[in-house]
Structure 1
Amino acid sequence: MAAANSQTFHLFPYLPPELRAMTWRASLPENDPPAIAPYQGGSWNHSPVPATSIHSMEWEYHFNLGVTRVKIPLTSVNHEARDVAITWAHKRGIEVIFNEVTGCNIYIRRHDPVRDIIWFGEGAFQSFARQCLDMQMASGQNAIIPVPIQIGQFAIPKNTLTDRWFMRSLRAAMHSFCGDVLVWIIADEHPSFHTNTNHEKAPPRWEVGATHEGESIFWDGLTGRLEVGGGAQILNDHSYERLIEAGHAIAERLAATTHGVTHFGLQAAYAVRL
């Protein structure tokens, strides 16, 4: 007990308020970490651009995703810490919802298609790849569709690697991507979400278990180099072979065509529910 008490800084409440607030703020991250967002077919929505646009009939496409819970442990410390945490949350577009059932606040935000990780369950990536192609083919006199698509990370089940249509779908979708693209290969338990528009019953939060990252292969568009990375052994031999095969195939396609992808990677990992 004495050892435990020695870890407590009993004089903290007597520090100047400015110093205490600085301490609370220092305990908060710059931004909420990336969360896994479930893909839903047909979630590309179009909306007209402002009237000031030179293209009166131009359309922009946005990838609408749901909401995710945000864990902010600091809100449970005391009133002073909670005020600092809620101010931090509001500045980052995090909404505070009071749950009348539990009598507690919950914190939610909308998924970001670039910062967060889009989850494609069994067969969903093929549908997404078709949408990418349809968007590009739909461009015409009255519809100017901006491509490439801004998607930073997405995740697929391990079994998708062995799907005979996956490589074709991935190559097709790569024409729509730009920037840095990372594909997480999720082993074992897959994320599951309860779709409910009631914010008091926001879907559970899932993240990639960054402390248990597995096998990987990365392509650098600036140097043209393809590197196989280490990590924990997560995949079986067959899935690992498919991972390497997919990395080489995508690297060859990207190197041979004009594209907006600067870096591409495949990384095995586990999904963790928080």
Structure 2
Amino acid sequence: MASTVDVYRFHRFPDLPPEIRIQIWQEALPDTPEPALFSFQKGGWEPQPLAEDDEYYNEFDDSNLALIFDYNQIKGRYFIPLALVNQEAYDVVLFWAREEGLEITYTKTKRLPVFTRHFDTHDTLYIPADKWDDFIDAPRARMREDDLLEPGVARICFTLTQLAIPDTILQRNISALRDLMDNFTQVNSILVLSESEIPDYTSECMDEIPLAWGYEVHSNGAYTWDNIVDEFRTEGLLDSKDPATKLMMKAAGKVGRDLSDEDMLLFRLQRAKITDIGVLGPRVFTPKPIPATKTQRLLQWLRNKKKQGK
């Protein structure tokens, strides 16, 4: 009987020179994490002194505090399957992650490495339906805490301009966008997700820091406020049969008067969808050339790590 050959394994891979193995692992590394959706997490509102040139600064007020949303406290997690192949691949991923500014943590059972990064301005804050009320009330709730009852707050500062929400928020409260405008005046772009398209994904790390979600906006248009004619106009072709799009357009009608009264220059609503759930896989399109110096640094780091027994 002919022997069965395992065509899916390269059994001589460990016999390759370490430089070649390292280059192969490097080619399998993921791309730099793209802008993602980071779920809203409680906290993040911190008091800071107002500068003297701030319009809310009062020379007769001893406190002069602003309550600022520190988005750097928001985190998202990623799984990188390559890190689970073997120790050498894990080391290559760890080196790459450190250069990309990712932090490494582990699931509660300590079995799976998870890579964490902080929210950045190119990311989008996602507000789940069950967290909407907490999000809207968060600055006022923070001002009710003991350390801010005495001095008081002169200004609430929320610098993010784009948020993402599920359509169920609009389904439950069609005036939700008006509530948003009343509390967070800087926000001028809303991505609307269909709740039915949001994956029901749970894992042992979800109760601590949520996984970051990859996303993309729909290519079939947006609903944008035109302050010249004081009405919303359609960009592209919106899917009038899509339930989430219908809710988005209906909600826009509820805030039109407010946008006109406040002379709002920009307010945009657009459908978006989830593309992945916090998994960074290997590059699948155009591999990026890896500088020889980077490979050399990686090899030296691995040698030092081996000598130190880490």
Category of TM-score, reference length = shorter chain: 0.5 to 0.7
The one of 26, 29, 44 aligned to 1:27: 29
Following TM superposition, by how much is the alpha carbon of 1:70 offset from its aligned partner in structure 2, in angstroms? 1.0
Residues 192/217 of structure 1: CA separation in 2 closer, same or farther (3 Å cut) = same
* Residue of structure 2 equivalent to 1:48: 48
The counterpart of 2:234, out of the listed 226, 233, 238, is 226
Question: In structure 2, do the counterparts of structure 1 residues 250 and 243 end up closer, same or farther at CA, with 3 Å as the change threshold?
Answer: same
Q: CA 1:147–1:98 in 2, change beyond 3 Å: closer, same or farther?
A: closer
Indicate how the Cα distance of structure 1 residues 53 and 256 shifts in structure 2: closer, same or farther if over 3 A, else same: closer
Whether the 8 Å CA contact 2:35–2:214 is kept in 1: the answer is no
Q: Residue 149 in 1 paired to residue 159 in 2?
A: yes
* Partners of 1:34 and 1:116 within 8 A in 2: yes
Provide the secondary structure at the position in 2 that maps to 1:155.
Answer: strand
State whether structure 2 residue 222 is matched by structure 1 residue 217. Answer: yes
Whether 2:249 is the aligned partner of 1:241: answer: no
Q: Give the match for residue 97 of structure 1.
A: 105
Q: 1:172 aligns with which of 173, 179, 182?
A: 182
Q: Residues 168 and 231 from structure 1, CA distance in 2 versus in 1: closer, same or farther, beyond 3 angstroms?
A: closer
- Equivalent residue for 1:85, pick from 93, 101, 114: 93
1-structure distance, mates of 2:248, 2:255: 11
TM-superposed deviation, 1:244: 1.7
Secondary structure of the residue aligned to 1:265 is: strand
Q: Which amino acid in structure 2 is aligned with residue 175 of structure 1?
A: T
SS in 1 for 2:30: coil
Please state how far the C-alpha of 1:169 moved relative to its aligned partner: 1.5
Count of aligned residue pairs for this structure pair: 256
Judged with a 3 Å threshold, the aligned counterparts in structure 2 of structure 1 residues 234 and 183 are, in CA distance, closer, same or farther, namely same
Q: Does 1:161 align with 2:167?
A: no
Write the distance in 2 (CA, Å) between the matches of 1:129 and 1:185: 19
DSSP-derived class of the 2:104 partner? strand
Task: Give CA-to-partner distance per residue, 1:130-167, whole Å, 9 cap, x none.
Answer: 557999xx9xx985536452143322343533524324
Is residue 125 from structure 1 mapped to residue 135 from structure 2 by the alignment? Answer: no
Cα deviation 1:165-194 (Å, max 9, x = unaligned): 32432443462325xx23223322767899
Query: 1:61 Cα shift?
Result: 0.8
1:19-67 Cα offsets, whole Å, 9 max, x none, are: 9448616732222551441453xx3522335999997844351246554
C-alpha spacing 1:106/1:162, structure 2 compared with 1 (3 Å)? closer
Q: Give SS of 1:188's match.
A: helix
Corresponding residue for residue 76 of structure 1:
84
Structure 2 length as normaliser, TM-score?
Answer: 0.56
Partner Cα distance (1:257, 1:146) in 2: 18
Structure 2 residue corresponding to 1:37, chosen from 36, 39, 42: 39
SS in 1 for 2:155: coil
- Which structure 2 segments of 5+ residues have no match? 58-62, 143-147, 279-310
Cα displacement (A) at 1:87? 2.3
**Max radius of gyration: which structure?**
2
Contact 1:58/1:145, CA 8 A, preserved across alignment: yes
Task: Summarize the Cα distance change of 1:108–1:149 in structure 2 as closer, same or farther, 3 Å threshold.
Answer: same
Contact 2:175/2:254 (<8 A) preserved: no
Report the CA distance shift for 1:60/1:35 in structure 2 as closer, same or farther (over 3 A): same
Q: For the residues of structure 1 that align with 2:24 and 2:67, how far apart are their CA atoms?
A: 41
**Contact 1:187–1:269 (Cα < 8 Å) also in 2:** no
Please report how far the alpha carbon of residue 205 of structure 1 lies from its aligned counterpart in structure 2 after TM superposition: 2.4
Q: Tell me what 2:193 maps to.
A: 185
TM-score, scaled relative to structure 1: 0.62
- After superposition, the C-alpha distances for 1:211-263 in whole angstroms (9 at most, x for unaligned) are 9x59763327799853254469652xxx54332233455567546645575x6
Structure 2 letter corresponding to 1:176: Q
CA displacement at 1:5 relative to structure 2: 4.2
Moved more, 81-90 or 10-19: 10-19
